[in-house]
Structure 1
Amino acid sequence: MIAAHPAGQAFDAMADTYDDDFTQSLIGQTQRSAVMQDAFRIFPGRRRLLELNCGTGEDALRFAENGWKVLALDASERMIACARIRRENLGTRDNPQFRQVATEDLREIAGEFDGVFSNFSGLNCVRDLAPVARILAEQTTPGSPLVLCLSTRVCLWETAWYLLHGKPAKAFRRWTGRHQAMLQGMPVDVYYPTLNMLRTAFLPHFRLRRVRAIGLFVPPSYVEAWIRKHPLLLRAFVRLDRVFSRLPLLRILGDHMLLHFEKTGEVL
């Protein structure tokens, strides 16, 4: 029997409505499109890909449709169940493979991969990413890319939005580097490492190649109701993100940051 994982239990309760609440939302689709454009450019085609924190399988299914052989993991039993249902509805059974495995338990996974992907803050639920980097170094081929999307420590949209709504505690909740979120009534520790902390955590096994903001001008998902009333503004925000999301200071001030690491060949 798989031991219960705190974040996994919380996301179990969110799984059945997750696609409606986020995946199919305007903001969710817009932010995901930005991530996947980079991911498809970075990853070598039609090879073995490991996805961490796969949720309901949206990204894993896209990779599989484009020729990758995908093993997708998540700590949530219900998220994995939803992902398998989506796969079966598409008429496929063996790709992607979906397994309930928490990121902290990666040693349970056998095999060698040509790339690693994690989208939308699943890694923010892991207190220490250095052990994860060591395991991934053992499980990946030389030169393998890692494409990881994490929540930032400082999100300009979040700070401004909640200050304008008279909620200073929420406005600055990321700034301390750790916040206990309540997901479906369950407490989950969320960590907000800085860019330098992430760079250090993955050394010497992986070197950081590129960083860009995801959701610098495009707002966080909790602004969905407002942005639906302003579709032209959302289009403008998308264009602004394309222009400014890779600039050195601004790239760490969005809702998320997308990091491209490359394996160095050093396994300690």
Structure 2
Amino acid sequence: MKADFDQAAKNYDTHFTYSEIGKLQRKMVYANLQNKLKNLNKLLEINCGTGEDAIWLAKQGFEVTATDISEEMIAVAQTKSSGENPNFKVLDINKILEESEKFDTIFSNFGGLNCLTKSELELFLNSAKEVLSDNGKICLVIMPKNTLWEPLYFLLKLDFQNAFRRKKEVVYANVEGEKVATYYYNPKDIVHLCQINFEIVDAKPIGFFIPPSYLEPFFKNKKSVLYSLYVLENKIKNWSFLSKFADHYIITLQKK
């Protein structure tokens, strides 16, 4: 996995972070986080990629430790930041217990956890409890199984083989020419895996109307259409039942 995302680091910001779709989806995530992270201080980000979220969180006043398994992703992130906050470091998600300090919040954005098998995800959620302070929270942005955008996109292309690929146990996504094993989880799957240690606060859709990033070429010159979809997204942003039908969803869990 490390090599896969090392390969993607160079072009990740161009292809997603600074894309019109990427900026709108990230804007929805940030609006949700601002309501969830009040009165919290220390935050651990996993799968931080090129550091865009970590830098934003640091600017909001959080003390951020941002980690990624990819040395190249961390290298790009460090070029964006000056000073000690965020503290960027290379760390395998499966080794978060190596973190000796406690955090108020653990955050992962845009499907980083979709690279974990069910057993690995369960291990992560169990480990997360140990590095969280009392009443700590986890905020995770995950790709669900039932998104409506993907079947529509592939059916219009008459690509029936991929139209319902998220229903499969594993999908091999193309990341800069590398095949990366990807697993999809609906909100209830996450709740089931962590119900002993966590209780769900809520789950909200991210990208029910805003399209997936791979449609950026189509929408790049249709900003008025994209903005209209963003307006619609804001109208349904609190409709939890749409979470499993969006491109992503953000689920917030609180330590028991």
TM-score normalized with structure 1 length: 0.91
Indicate the larger mover: 69-78 or 192-201: 192-201
CA contact (8 A) 1:46 1:69 kept: no
CA contact (8 A) 2:205 2:240 kept: no
Give the distance between the partners of 1:120 and 1:181, measured in 2 at CA. 14
- 1:97 is matched with 87
CA contact (8 A) 2:187 2:243 kept: no
> Aligned to 1:174, what secondary structure does the other structure show?
helix
- 1:256 is matched with 248
- 2:192 is matched with 200
Give the distance between the partners of 2:147 and 2:78, measured in 1 at CA. 33
CA contact (8 A) 1:179 1:190 kept: yes
TM-score normalized with structure 2 length: 0.95
Q: Deviations over 1:76-97 (max 9, x none)?
A: 110001011111xxxx221101
Q: Deviations over 1:102-127 (max 9, x none)?
A: 21111222110011110000000011
Give the distance between the partners of 1:250 and 1:138, measured in 2 at CA. 31
Q: Deviations over 1:44-79 (max 9, x none)?
A: 346110001000000000111111100011111100
**How far off is 1:248 after superposition?**
4.3
- 1:122 is matched with 112
Unmatched segments (≥5 aa) in structure 2: none
**How far off is 1:187 after superposition?**
2.4
Moved runs in structure 1, 4+ residues, more than 6 A? none
- 1:55 is matched with 49
Indicate the larger mover: 115-124 or 37-46: 37-46
- 2:218 is matched with 226
Superposed CA RMSD in Å reads 1.3
CA contact (8 A) 1:130 1:202 kept: yes
Indicate the larger mover: 173-182 or 139-148: 173-182
> Aligned to 2:190, what secondary structure does the other structure show?
helix
CA contact (8 A) 1:45 1:68 kept: no
- 1:109 is matched with 99
**How far off is 1:177 after superposition?**
3.7
- 2:72 is matched with 78
Give the distance between the partners of 2:203 and 2:147, measured in 1 at CA. 15
Q: Letter of the aligned partner of 1:207 in structure 2? A: E
> Aligned to 2:16, what secondary structure does the other structure show?
helix
1:44 aligns with one of 23, 29, 38: 38
Give the distance between the partners of 1:141 and 1:104, measured in 2 at CA. 19
Identical-pair percentage: 32
Number of residue pairs the alignment of both structures matches = 254
Q: Deviations over 1:197-222 (max 9, x none)?
A: 11011222111111111100110001
2:134 aligns with one of 135, 138, 142: 142
Q: Letter of the aligned partner of 2:92 in structure 1? A: A
